[in-house]
Amino acid sequence: MSSPIPTNHGRRKFLQTTGAAAASAAIGLPMLATPRRASAAEKLVVVSWGGNYRTAVEEALVRPFEKEFGVAVTLVDTPDLAKVKAQVMTKNVEWDVFDAVGPMAMTGSKAGYWETLDPALFDRNDLVAPMTKEAVPFYGFTGGIFWDAKKFPEGKAPQTFADYFDVTKFPGKRTLRNRASETLEIALLADGVAPDKMYPLDVPRAFKALERIKPHIAKWVDQTPQTTSLVETGEVDYSYTYATRAKASQESGKPTQFSFKQNLIGLEYLVVLKGAPNKANAMKYVQFALRPDRQAALMDLHGNTPASKKARALMKPGVSKWLSDPQNKNNLLSNDAWWADHYDELTLKFKEWVLS
Amino acid sequence: MNARKEGWIYVGPATLFLFLVMLVPLAYVAYTSVTNAGGDFSLASYHRLFSSDLFKRTLGTTFQISILASLCSLALGYPIALHLARQTPRMRAIYMVLVLVPFWTSILVKSYAFTVLLGRAGLVNQLLSFVSGSTVQLPMLFNRFGVMVGMTNYLIPFIVFPVLASLLAIDKSLYRASEIMGAKPPRIFFRITLPLSLPGVAAGVLSTTVMSMGFFVIPALLGGRQDVMMSNLVDFYTRETMDWNMASAIGVILLGIVTLAAILADQAKRFGSRPGVPA
């Protein structure tokens, strides 16, 4: 209430507008009550994934960034593309930097939700994957097979995707993700498609292979934590999960095991929202997050593969056993550009197939 | 005139609040459902929905789960209400806590608790294995059974409260009179207690069925691939395919079904409460 003039103006305008605008103004009203000068202070809003992921981002990126640039950073949990859509659509953008998995980043690019990134901000030769006009790779996450080592001793559990689909040799209940991306690739790898011949995906062949495994899938997992908890509680025998989750499971004392014989590597990207209120700071933050020393610090905590090649040498030796092997010819790197063009159509097709 | 003005002071703020947070967004949802991605008028979303197998199957599942869960809750909730009605007010207050504690517990917490209980190596299977002396691994999780357990657990209080209210409203002298006339307990139940508690049963079953239609967390956490309900589909179109026109159309259809159910139930109740004393 310290600035009555904008508030009154806001209220009058608020009464004049209709429908959606009225609703968005109602949400925005408390903002109008804060004095203008508050926005003069250096601020930044970063969206991150919550839990121990968030703690690591706070420690390795946010606090050092605040110290170096004098910017107050607010961390918000859970990147949600639907919320981005709402913010950009109502021109009420509150987030600056967004942490997006590949298909999310590419879908957002297609919809025009991101600002263009200046390539001069990054050392492009140092990146493990090419950056796009709007998104820069942040790290790589490693998907693979996970099991209870107490139940299945060495050699008794499936370790490649072909094993995972071989229900006679490895009987038992399994999981797969309830999403088209990753799952279709796994099916094709299991069916014998070579990683370098993967894209464009042979979709009918993938579904045919999935048809084989469908009766043995106990749960099509939506919530990532379930990928490990279902194995830990004995609900399923093997599960598809990520090296970071397997690391957390082992570090909490569970007798679980993760296979590096064959991995699916997905990329996480950083993007800046279109019309971000603190755009200049956002650009500085993205550049900062790609610096080899910051990458090493964050990946030491997460156990993901850094996007900066130089960072790998700076990482703690104990963590490197959780990184996927770049020399392994069985591994597949997800092609997010291909997914950007097929994501919506295949997601729908996949969900309908799961239900049928 | 004065009284009318005063009335506005009492209900005005709430009316304004509800108008802004409910009617305006709802109107926007309805508007979104009849436009296309470009913002022009189009019934394409409805057309696509009614030709989609995914939607038809989900609609069927939603009805099945809602009605079945509501009936299960009635079967378990009615005896509880009956038992509570027979207590002294003091004892009833104490027993009521047992109904209220699960009612106040977060649905998320309860759903996760059920995964511990119902799992393949969960407590229930462990107990059964111990009792039977062999390994029992009944599939109770990630299927319709799991959804039913979770939903029934959540819905029981919503049956107990209205049924209990009806039971307590029954004139005690009716029981005394029937006993004097020589009626045995089963006869008293079927001729007096049950018919007179029907308004509470109808209110309870209706509200639980309508509530179940919008369930999201329980089918997502305890259900399998065949247990997707309408709100899970709304979530899918909102967050995954980002097709808000489709999501809005589903919302409007769901609202229509629920409104229709409420009107029908109201009619039925009026028909049921026509003057006339049960013989």
Lowest mean pLDDT among A109-113, A219-223, B1-5, B106-110: B1-5
Residue of B nearest to A20 (CA): B28
> Per this entry, what is the length of chain A?
356
Instruction: Give residue A62's pLDDT.
Output: 97
Is B122–A233 a contact, with Cβ atoms under 8 angstroms apart?
yes
Per-residue pLDDT band for A348 (boundaries 50, 70, 90) equals: confident
Please report residues of A whose CB lies closer than 8 A to that of B142. 218-219
Of A286, A289, A305, the residue nearest A135 (C-alpha): A286
Q: Is A153 helix (H, G, I), strand (E, B) or coil?
A: coil
Q: Is A80 on the interface with B (CB under 8 A)?
A: yes
Q: To probe the interface with A, which of B112, B242, B248 has the most A CB atoms within 10 Å?
A: B242
Residue of A nearest to B116 (CA): A233
All structural domains of chain A: 43-140+267-334 (3.40.190.10), 143-265+344-355 (3.40.190.10)
**Residue A13 pLDDT > 50:** no
For B53-272, CATH number?
A: 1.10.3720.10
Judge contact between A250 and A321, C-beta under 8 A. Answer: no
Q: Is A82 on the interface with B (CB under 8 A)?
A: yes
Is B240–A233 a contact, with Cβ atoms under 8 angstroms apart?
no
Q: Is A82 helix (H, G, I), strand (E, B) or coil?
A: helix
Predicted TM-score of the model (pTM): 0.81
Q: To probe the interface with A, which of B65, B144, B225 has the most A CB atoms within 10 Å?
A: B225
Please report residues of A whose CB lies closer than 8 A to that of B115. 233, 235
Residues B225-236 pLDDT 10s: 889 999 999 998
Per-residue pLDDT band for A24 (boundaries 50, 70, 90) equals: very low
Residues A256-304 pLDDT 10s: 999 999 999 999 999 999 999 999 999 999 999 999 999 999 999 989 9
Judge contact between A170 and A236, C-beta under 8 A. Answer: no
Angle of CA points B249, B250, B253, to nearest 5°? 90
Residues B50-96 pLDDT 10s: 998 889 999 999 999 999 999 999 999 999 999 999 999 999 999 99
Instruction: Give residue B250's pLDDT.
Output: 95
Please report residues of A whose CB lies closer than 8 A to that of B116. 233
**Stretch B245-256: mean pLDDT, rounded?**
94
Give the residue extent of every domain in chain B. 53-272
